[in-house]
Structure 1
Amino acid sequence: MEEEKDAFYVVKKGDVIGIYKSLRDLAEAGISVYDPSLRVYKGYGLSKQAEVYLGSCGLKNAAYSISASDVNDNTFGKLVPCPPQQPTSVRGNTSNTDPSPNRQQQILGKELVGSTSHFTDPRLNHMNFANQVETQMMSSNPQSCIVEFDGASKGNPGPAGAGAVLRAEDGRVVCRLCEGVGIATNNVAEYRAVILGMKYALKKGFKHIRVQGDSNLVCMQVQGRWKIKSQNLVELNKEAKELKDKFMSFQINHVGRESNSEADALANQAVNLMNGQVQEDWIGP
């Protein structure tokens, strides 16, 4: 299939849809327009306003998602099935005649409106569906991983350490990491931890990454949703965002301490290391 100017692709899987900017993005994400478990539609001229809003979810290469309640006949403009011979009913019925682009948009919208997810905050709705579609797309991709991070500071500021755990999508531990941070605040240690995890994920060749930690400040600032008030975090935030952009898809989530115990233990262990000293424990292939 030949690439066309201003084309974008709407991919439906289950009760979520992803929006991709090019056929190359689809291919790199391991998505085939002939996959019977997916419904793929093509549109033209995704608005800048829509891109900016969807991009605020923190995902790269237009691996965006949108909630069912926000889909209507005008959300994406005119859509056509991709490829043209694809079955026209998104519920799996076949037909020898393709309906009009407007009819395709109505079918797509009506099916998604039946989603069981309900949120009062539209932004949370978008983020929830972004997490779902990213998880679904990543779960079958061997180039994807989960990074758990945590930082510790004995004194805040005081002797500090960073810890990170890299996991395969099945939960299997691939690597455990500790890094000494020197005398620093807890927030600096948290940033050093997320940077540590991302660097080693890239080093290992992972292309799709899902990051989680119990620092809401780091998660929100890396997403660009919170302002940075402390000057000593500006460069760390810049480095984290530069690393984020090297992945084909990226997602970062805040989790409770109880879900981050292994990274926490590594961070406390790293307090005894010299600043910049890294200990690696590679377990996976």
Structure 2
Amino acid sequence: MEEEKDAFYVVKKEDIIGIYKSLRDLIAEAGISQAYDPSLRVYKGYGLSKQAEVYLGSCGLKNAAYSISASEVNDNTFGKLVPCPPQQPTSFRGSTSNRDPSPNRLHQILGKDLVGSTALYTGPRINHMNFANQVMPSTQMMPLDSPYYIIEFDGASKGNPGPAGAGAVLRTEDGRVVCRLREGVGIATNNVAEYRAAILGMKYALRKGFKHVRVQGDSNLVCMQVQGRWKIKSQNLVELNKVAKDLKDKFISFQINHVDREFNSEADALANQAVNLMNGQVQEDWLLK
């Protein structure tokens, strides 16, 4: 496992915050990479400032891993942070078990030192994320205490181009499904369907009043182009990219990540169902109002 230079990790559970100097320490000490604990939020930052280290030291925290009351820190203590989903479990086979940590182990490590209130969606499934594809610091950051929602998207095209559909799932941060969406895309390429799926999810999230979202899909092209990190070579994607970015800017905080196909199966199934719908026809299944 290769560590990123100057990276550090902040774990928040209710009113206690833990700070880890490496992902390896986070996995080994907290054991949270494969455990589903909806009471945790994990954030990632770069370059823990000397001022922050001095302050933590003044609280008697001088080891590689710190823990401190949330009331003792503010939004400026750690600089800019982004939500940090768990890494791929297979990346740590050399040093960690493939089994979930026992409840007693989590209680010993987190219950005593990191006791707390807000939640990071680590999901009922472990989502495979690639940090290299995450939103860069120039985009809106998610505040520590704001609830956020997950938008899963996928597109399908039978023929590429051919009959196409878009699917999206809206979830709460603890993984509960709010809504499942299907939209017919007409005759289109897979990339067009992927864009339409991301746009579909964002439109409904805004319509529902969601202000902080994390978008994830298995189209690296859509993720990177929405971030502005890849050029758009196809003219028919230019307008779709503009629509997606306009929607993105309406959120207070926004993050988009690429995930492996196997971890996007629900949105994929919806997209394949949507292939049979007329262009622009939307079907909604609301589970939470």
| TM-score class, shorter | 0.5 to 0.7
Figure out how many residues of one structure are paired with residues of the other and give that number: 194
- Residue 205 (structure 2) pairs with residue 201 (structure 1): yes
Q: Which residue of structure 1 aligns with residue 184 of structure 2?
A: 180
Q: Provide the identity percentage.
A: 68
Q: Within 2, Cα distance between the matches of 1:279 and 1:159?
A: 17
- Residue 169 (structure 2) pairs with residue 165 (structure 1): yes
Q: Is the alpha carbon distance of 1:168 and 1:72 closer, same or farther for their aligned partners in structure 2, counting shifts above 3 Å?
A: closer
Where 1:233 maps in the other structure, the secondary structure is: helix
Q: Which residue of structure 2 aligns with residue 89 of structure 1?
A: 59
Mapping of 1:65-214 within 5 angstroms? Answer: 66-67=45-46, 70-73=47-50, 89=59, 91=61, 124=131, 127=134, 137=144, 141-142=146-147, 144-214=148-218
Report how far residue 126 of structure 1 moved.
10
- With the length of structure 1 as denominator, give the TM-score of the two structures: 0.58
Report how far residue 141 of structure 1 moved.
3.9
Structure 2, unmatched stretches of 5+, are 1-7, 19-42, 62-66, 70-75, 80-86, 88-129
Check conservation: 2:133, 2:258, Cα contact below 8 A.
no
- Residue 219 (structure 2) pairs with residue 215 (structure 1): yes
Check conservation: 1:65, 1:129, Cα contact below 8 A.
no
Structure 1, unmatched stretches of 5+, are 1-13, 18-34, 40-63, 95-104, 110-116, 118-122
Q: Within 1, Cα distance between the matches of 2:190 and 2:222?
A: 11
Where 1:221 maps in the other structure, the secondary structure is: helix
Mapping of 1:268-279 within 5 angstroms? Answer: 268-279=272-283
Q: Within 1, Cα distance between the matches of 2:233 and 2:132?
A: 28
Where 1:164 maps in the other structure, the secondary structure is: strand
Q: Deviations over 1:193-213 (max 9, x none)?
A: 000000000111111101110
- With the length of structure 2 as denominator, give the TM-score of the two structures: 0.57
Aligned residues: CA RMSD:
4.0
Amino acid at match of 1:248: I
2:258 corresponds to which of 251, 254, 265: 254
Q: Within 1, Cα distance between the matches of 2:207 and 2:224?
A: 25
Check conservation: 1:87, 1:93, Cα contact below 8 A.
no
Check conservation: 2:135, 2:257, Cα contact below 8 A.
no
1:243 corresponds to which of 235, 239, 247: 247
Report how far residue 93 of structure 1 moved.
8.5
